[in-house]
Chain A
Amino acid sequence: GAVVSQHPSRVICKSGTSVKIECRSLDFQATTMFWYRQFPKQSLMLMATSNEGSKATYEQGVEKDKFLINHASLTLSTLTVTSAHPEDSSFYICSARDHGLSGYTFGSGTRLTVV
């Protein structure tokens, strides 16, 4: 089945620094990938839709200058949290849809802790 690899699984960074999270589709090409944020015991909140070769589409209330998304190839999308603050600490998850299959495949998530 479709596999989405996400790295790192866990990262701790200092306030003010930037963190990059990678999301790769391993056995299929994904022209579109999605980035979610999840707080404890809460649902997935869609942050943005990443489009290969073009600008990402951000959901209302998500700061595009803070959460930089790059989708430079059909198998890789990156999310960079810039100038991170403790309130950015959360679980970030990417997903992609293999058009040959039903449903969406998710990465394993990245636990970001900003200290």
Chain B
Amino acid sequence: QKEVEQDPGPLSVPEGAIVSLNCTYSNSAFQYFMWYRQYSRKGPELLMYTYSSGNKEDGRFTAQVDKSSKYISLFIRDSQPSDSATYLCAMSRSGGSYIPTFGRGTSLIVHP
């Protein structure tokens, strides 16, 4: 079993839809949770960063962490074609060098 599981998709939605992206993990030592957006042939861009359980909102994006279920989510409201990209979840342990472990990414397609 991989430490971080993420469905690669693709996930195709119409413009304006609410998108839900998810990851599960197996290591209870993970304390920091991140979501990155990666456009084709580009490096990942940090979208959200959360620590421990709960919700965090930033504009159209909401990150949710449920440590009891080892499950994290990223919600995108009012999705736009420009949101079409690959979304990678990442998480790291507390202490040490905080090197993140990445999911394989979910490809999102928002069609007009």
Contact = CB atoms under 8 A, between A and B. Distances in A.
Interface in A91-115: 91, 93, 95, 97, 102-109, 111
A44 B99 contact: no
Interface residues on A, range: 20 to 34
Contact of B41 (A44, A106, A111): A111
A46 interface: yes
Contact of A43 (B49, B97, B102): B102
Judged by DSSP, the binding face of A is strand
Contacts of A75: none
B42 A108 contact: yes
Interface of A: 4, 6, 32, 34, 41-44, 46, 49, 91, 93, 95, 97, 102-109, 111
Interface of B: 6, 8, 32, 34, 36, 41-46, 49, 88, 90, 97-100, 102-105, 107
14 contacts: A34-B99, A41-B8, A41-B104, A42-B104, A43-B6, A43-B103, A44-B102, A49-B99, A104-B34, A105-B46, A106-B44, A108-B43, A109-B42, A111-B41
